[in-house]
Amino acid sequence: MEKQAARMKKRGQINVVLKKPADQQALHSHQDPDVLQKPEHTAFKQIQQELDAFVGLQNIKQFMKEIYAWLYMNHKREHEGLKTGKQVLHMVFKGNPGTGKTTVARLIAKLFKEMGVLEKGHLIEAERADLVGEYIGHTAQKTRELVKKSLGGILFVDEAYSLARGGEKDFGKEAIDTLVKAMEDQQHAFVLILAGYPKEMERFLKLNPGLPSRFPLKVTFPNYTVAELLQMASKMIKEREYQLDLRAEETLKEFLILTKEKQEEHFSNGRFIRNLLERAIRSQAVRLLEEGKYERDDLMTIKSIDLANAFYHSDTRSTE
């Protein structure tokens, strides 16, 4: 592990694996909590407040703080007449759906604008269909147009590995080549983030040996724990003015444990929770209609049977 880290450092790469807060406490126990409350750190405070609205993402906050600290110290170094050479900020996000990749990309765009790194700070989301054309030359044209729209902001390509799924003759390779050229020609004019499932992204980068060194920031987004998912579900339910009865809470926990074990590599995290609860709410509505119960408590309460119907009588159990 240490040898791998040394090799990456030599190539100018940073591999960020988002660990649990307990693993980082020793590294940051000396920090002064009041320092970031100063007006000059307003940009970071706003980002932090937005992150606080989400369940989990505790480790993302540390990553965002590191990015902010580096940018802020560059400003300070510039003020003191010290060298502040621009660094390439293209990134790879590895994680399952619903782990916060797009949310974090949007916050990074906002932070980069506030810190003067990006002019506009907007986020352009794209996938294979947005980049790959239908005939020779069409792909390069589509990709260049997307890059043009992204100038001053971030181009976020989800399921980036799909660009390499068709082999040498597939137009996806042309999209990759066009993106690489744009990264060279307009190195600091936009930020490119390639995102997708962890294993697929690792294979994608191995198949394209020239790519890893072009993305100095690699961030791994872990799946949410069952406890975090239950907290997320509780938040979603309260926002919609519903409540789970005691049996429903246990049922939800059982479904989460079961699904995470079966789909660990492609578990959809927050997306799974949202889809399951939305189906449970529809199931509850049908049950109340058939029972003829319309009292306030009835309208608010989701029962175990509602969750079971949502889980077993739909495609919720499949990867979403």
pLDDT in tens, 285-302: 999 999 999 999 999 999
* Rounded Cα gap, residues 165 and 142, in angstroms: 19
Residue 15 has pLDDT above 60, yes or no: no
Q: Are strands 217-221 and 154-157 parallel, antiparallel or unpaired?
A: unpaired
Residue 1 has pLDDT above 50, yes or no: no
Position 9 scores a pLDDT of: 46
**pTM here?**
0.80
Position 316 scores a pLDDT of: 47
Percentage of the chain exceeding pLDDT 90: 57
* Rounded Cα gap, residues 196 and 159, in angstroms: 4
CATH topology of domain 226-312: Helicase, Ruva Protein; domain 3 (1.10.8)
Residue 17 has pLDDT above 80, yes or no: no
In degrees and rounded to multiples of 5, residue 317 shows phi and psi of: -75, -15
3-class DSSP state of 192: strand
Q: What is the mean pLDDT of residues 222-239?
A: 94
Q: Which strand (E) or helix (H) includes residue 92?
A: strand 91-95
Residue 20 has pLDDT above 70, yes or no: no
Task: Identify which has the larger pLDDT, 142 or 35.
Answer: 142
Domain boundaries, the chain: 2-221, 226-312
- For residue 315, give the amino acid letter: D
DSSP state of 21: G
Q: Beta partners for 217?
A: 14, 91
Residue 319 has pLDDT above 50, yes or no: no
Task: Identify which has the larger pLDDT, 281 or 49.
Answer: 281
Residue 219 has pLDDT above 50, yes or no: yes
Q: What is the mean pLDDT of residues 20-32?
A: 48
* Rounded Cα gap, residues 57 and 235, in angstroms: 15
> For the chain, what is the largest distance between any 2 Cα atoms, rounded to a whole number of angstroms?
75
User: Which CATH code, of 3.40.50.300, 2.40.50.140, 3.10.20.30, 3.20.20.220, is assigned to 2-221?
Assistant: 3.40.50.300
Q: What is the mean pLDDT of residues 160-175?
A: 82
Q: How confident is the model at residue 275 (pLDDT cuts 50, 70, 90)?
A: very high
Position 85 scores a pLDDT of: 72
* Rounded Cα gap, residues 252 and 254, in angstroms: 5
Measure the N-to-C terminal CA separation of the chain; round to a whole number of Å: 33
Ordered alpha helix ranges (H), the chain: 2-10, 25-28, 42-52, 58-79, 101-114, 128-131, 138-150, 172-185, 198-207, 226-239, 246-263, 269-291, 296-300, 304-312
Distance between alpha carbon 209 and the CA centroid of its chain, in Å?
24
Q: What is the mean pLDDT of residues 170-198?
A: 92
Q: What is the mean pLDDT of residues 218-246?
A: 94
* Rounded Cα gap, residues 245 and 27, in angstroms: 41
Residue 32 has pLDDT above 70, yes or no: no
Residue 26 has pLDDT above 60, yes or no: no
pLDDT in tens, 41-93: 888 888 888 888 888 777 778 888 888 999 999 889 999 999 887 788 999 99
Q: How confident is the model at residue 315 (pLDDT cuts 50, 70, 90)?
A: low
Closest by CA position to 65, among listed 81, 79, 51: 51
Residue 36 has pLDDT above 80, yes or no: no
Q: How confident is the model at residue 40 (pLDDT cuts 50, 70, 90)?
A: confident
Q: For the residues of 93-162, what is the DSSP string, one character each?
A: EEE-TTSSHHHHHHHHHHHHHHTTSSSS--EEEE-HHHH--SSTTHHHHHHHHHHHHHTTSEEEETTGGG
